[in-house]
Amino acid sequence: MLTPDAMDKGILCPRNEDVFFINDIDMGLFGQGLPQPLQERAFLSVATHTERPDEVVLPSEFLNTIDSSELPPHELKLKEGCPLMCLRNINPKVGLMNGTRLILRGAGTKVL
């Protein structure tokens, strides 16, 4: 698993495609050497909308290809025990805010 030293480090990349490439490599290496390999699980974004005549409706296929630093990727691959970083101020009173480092302990269908 991760050493405490590894949790204190971060990797900076100039482009999102570099981040995704490094994350794919890290997820492949994460958990190696354990007696039982960790299962990788993919989480997909959901795009729903209401149809109103004054709105521009974009197809979900297009929305899934948007690569922005402000949004998580359409397909997020995670393993139990992997480090995560909170991207939004969810609950600052308890410390869940932008930049907080977390460890994935479990995942449901809609909750990490």
86, two tokens: 């909170």
pLDDT category of residue 1 using cuts at 50, 70 and 90? very low
Instruction: For residue range 53-90, list pLDDT tens digits in order.
Output: 777 777 788 888 887 777 778 888 888 888 888 888 88
pLDDT at 15 over 80: yes
Q: What are phi and psi of 59, to 5 degrees?
A: -65, 145
Can you give the pTM of this predicted structure?
A: 0.69
